Structure 1
């Protein structure tokens, strides 16, 4: 059985959704192993053996590409692995495949880091730094605009077929309010978002481990996620 070491965050949700979209069912084909990032589970030696960057999600599959076990970290790599394993959500032709991959890289290099910073400085930073709030809120709006324009010409993010690009981006937009976004400014993107949110596999994916997540309120949790604990040698 595939094991996904995860937590209910956007990057965790990507993999949960992908597994369900591929027809793999929680409890039958795959198992979610909770890694409580607020409690510091990501620094445990057994997790670091799978994910040396101490980030979720990570995946182990006893039936890897050569029939031998494989362990993977980085959500984008995991999406590509599952697409190759199941033959779903990544086109076969080179042209269409690279069109999808560029938007996957757009998420990995832009949407995730920039929206994450917007969320951090707007919600979690111990002091409100106006420059940082404006910098990342404006970048969030710019990225939303890029996606909105793309969707004026295509049904999905990377073309007219649902792909790993949609699966990668969708979870990051669920916190739109905390990113300073007004959906009225991005009507095409909002229509896409609602369409993706209504998919049964997406609903199942975002529900995985959701009952375990608690609001980040304590100094200990903040230190683990954003303070000195994050930068200690291991």
Structure 2
């Protein structure tokens, strides 16, 4: 089977995690076709997709120029792309110190920020029963994560390696939806000014900006 694009990216129009991958593919100038799964129809749990990702979640990629090599989990995909295709290490690093500085933030995002935001959204919008204590717990955790970011970004422009990397990129989609999961009246810029400015810098990166514009067209937000 021939493919016009190098990658197939399995995604969701509104879901935050696949867009991280799209942003990096944009920045690296790699061609890809996005397949947006219909979660309401259960496409993410169908055998056709669980052959690609047994966890039944998005994103996942297939690299057609590397023997249809498949990777799932957003953090793993970002690492695959920078290790294989970021030859100048523009979005990663070569020194051990910088590599692990980037990795620690990437792991913090995938294990901390993403799940806390996701649970806050679930209990706010989708859970059948309103559980204020659960909503409050995850909102507090989101603010704690923002506080960790603020403590570092108040002293430096980027999270690691003195430049924009996949560490910075990994946080941007969730933070972009912050007003939807925190209480009304939350003022991102006022409460976490350095993190807010950093978020704006990341949003201005061309590949990120283009991705967000497409996301808005597709999902309306």
TM-score, with length taken from structure 2: 0.88
Take 1:43 and 1:207, find their aligned partners in 2: how far apart are those partners?
Answer: 28
The answer as to whether partners of 1:16 and 1:208 remain within 8 angstroms in 2 is: no
Where does residue 63 of structure 1 map in the other structure? 65
The answer as to whether partners of 2:49 and 2:56 remain within 8 angstroms in 1 is: yes
Where does residue 101 of structure 2 map in the other structure? 99
Take 2:214 and 2:95, find their aligned partners in 1: how far apart are those partners?
Answer: 33
SS for the counterpart of 2:22 is helix
SS for the counterpart of 2:9 is strand
Counterparts in 2 of 1:209 and 1:38: CA distance versus 1, 3 Å: farther
Shift of the alpha carbon at 1:39?
2.5
Shift of the alpha carbon at 1:214?
7.1
SS for the counterpart of 1:92 is coil
Counterparts in 2 of 1:214 and 1:46: CA distance versus 1, 3 Å: farther
Where does residue 155 of structure 1 map in the other structure? 157
Take 1:207 and 1:12, find their aligned partners in 2: how far apart are those partners?
Answer: 14
1:187-198 equivalences in 2 (<5 Å): 187-198=193-204
SS for the counterpart of 1:101 is helix
SS for the counterpart of 1:78 is helix
Paired residues in the alignment total 208
Unmatched segments (≥5 aa) in structure 1: 216-234
1:154-233 equivalences in 2 (<5 Å): 154-180=156-182, 181-183=186-188, 184-208=190-214, 210-213=216-219
Shift of the alpha carbon at 1:159?
4.1
Post-superposition Cα deviations, 1:57-97, rounded to whole Å, max 9, x if no partner, equal 11001222xxx320111111100000012224110111100
Take 1:131 and 1:47, find their aligned partners in 2: how far apart are those partners?
Answer: 35
1:114-153 equivalences in 2 (<5 Å): 114-153=116-155
Shift of the alpha carbon at 1:41?
1.2
Take 1:35 and 1:2, find their aligned partners in 2: how far apart are those partners?
Answer: 16
Structure 1 ranges of 4+ moved more than 6 A: none
Take 1:167 and 1:38, find their aligned partners in 2: how far apart are those partners?
Answer: 28
Q: Does 1:13 align with 2:19?
A: yes
Where does residue 228 of structure 1 map in the other structure? none
Where does residue 75 of structure 1 map in the other structure? 74
Take 2:71 and 2:98, find their aligned partners in 1: how far apart are those partners?
Answer: 25
The answer as to whether partners of 1:7 and 1:35 remain within 8 angstroms in 2 is: yes
Take 2:93 and 2:144, find their aligned partners in 1: how far apart are those partners?
Answer: 28
Shift of the alpha carbon at 1:17?
0.4
Take 1:81 and 1:130, find their aligned partners in 2: how far apart are those partners?
Answer: 39
